[in-house]
Chains A and B, each alone.
Chain A
Amino acid sequence: MIFFWAFVIGGLICVIGQIMFDVFKLSPAHTLTSLVVLGSLLDGLGLYEPLIDFAGAGATVPITSFGNSLVHGAMLEAEKHGIIGVVTGMFEVTSAGISAAIVFGVIGAILFKPKG
């Protein structure tokens, strides 16, 4: 069942992005930035965690989960060390996405030649 909801919820988040493209005429960078901010706000309100339980990868794969996991890491550390933890814990949960993108970016640049 979680496969079905992953498809539906993930698809719907992409539709929100497409509406931002087409109806509000935002550039891809503006759209992705808004979605990340939206994700962090949702986690601040405690709404993103239930969505992950409900939809699995449908909520963790879209870029909104990036904002969510940034807030999450900050809050985990903040519980232990108070206000200073907000800064030190920021990348605790998110590191996979950014480090993978950078590592595979460099490997890709070594392996592939630009086209066109």
Chain B
Amino acid sequence: MANNKKKNLPPQAQEYQAFQSKREVKRPIFKNCLKAFLIGGTICLIGQCISTFYIYYFNFTEQTAGNPTTATLIFLTMLLTGFGIYDRLGQFAGAGSAVPVTGFGNAVISAAIEHRTEGFILGVGGNMLKLAGPVIVYGVFSAFIVALIKTILLKWGGF
């Protein structure tokens, strides 16, 4: 797509683009990955502490403890998002704060808070899932395809 766009531009614009890409600040990939690793790992570590708590005090198992842990983490995200701390964390950590479920929570909650001035039905309700929508839509769609194929193989494939 980028190449097609380039062909249609006048020569000066092409020169400018070459110049721009040379001057563009290179993203410090290694440093970003390290930050993402540390922050993402820490969030998962906190999650592990919470799920250990649920396993010992509320009789969940290793497999089922994921659910209450997710809910607790999203509750914490609500507080951090509301006080504006999560956005700053996101600028520092990149994917480290976006990939864990807290990032999903942050996308929903920040959209909800941002649009409250437009009213609770159309503003909050209508825009809440704007950012998180694609994740739910394609998660459900791919899960449907995968589960369908697997069921067909199990039922009639004789695996």
Interface size on B, residues (CB 8 A): 81
Contacting pair B113 A6 (CB below 8 A)? no
- B residues sitting closer than 8 Å to A (CB atoms) are 27, 29, 32-33, 35-45, 47-51, 62-63, 65-71, 73-75, 77-78, 81-84, 94-96, 98-105, 108-109, 111-117, 120, 124, 128-129, 131-132, 134-136, 138-140, 142-144, 146-152, 155
Chain B residues closer than 8 Å to A66, beta-carbon distance: 101, 104, 135, 139
Residue of B nearest to A29 (CB): B134
* Interface membership of chain A positions 1-34, coded 1 if the CB is closer than 8 angstroms to chain B and 0 otherwise: 0110011111111111111111100001101110
Main secondary structure of the interface of B (DSSP, over half): helix
Interface size on A, residues (CB 8 A): 78
- A residues sitting closer than 8 Å to B (CB atoms) are 2-3, 6-23, 28-29, 31-33, 35-37, 39-41, 43-44, 49, 52-53, 56-58, 60-63, 65-67, 69-71, 74-75, 78, 82-83, 85-87, 90, 93, 95-102, 104-109, 111-115
Q: Among A52, A78, A114, which residue has its beta carbon within 8 angstroms of that of B151?
A: A78
**A65 CA to B148 CA, complexed, in Å:** 19
Contacting pair A6 B44 (CB below 8 A)? yes
The 9 closest A-B pairs by CB, nearest first: A10-B44, A14-B40, A11-B41, A17-B95, A70-B143, A57-B47, A60-B66, A74-B147, A112-B82
Q: What's the least CB distance linking B10 to chain A, in Å?
A: 25
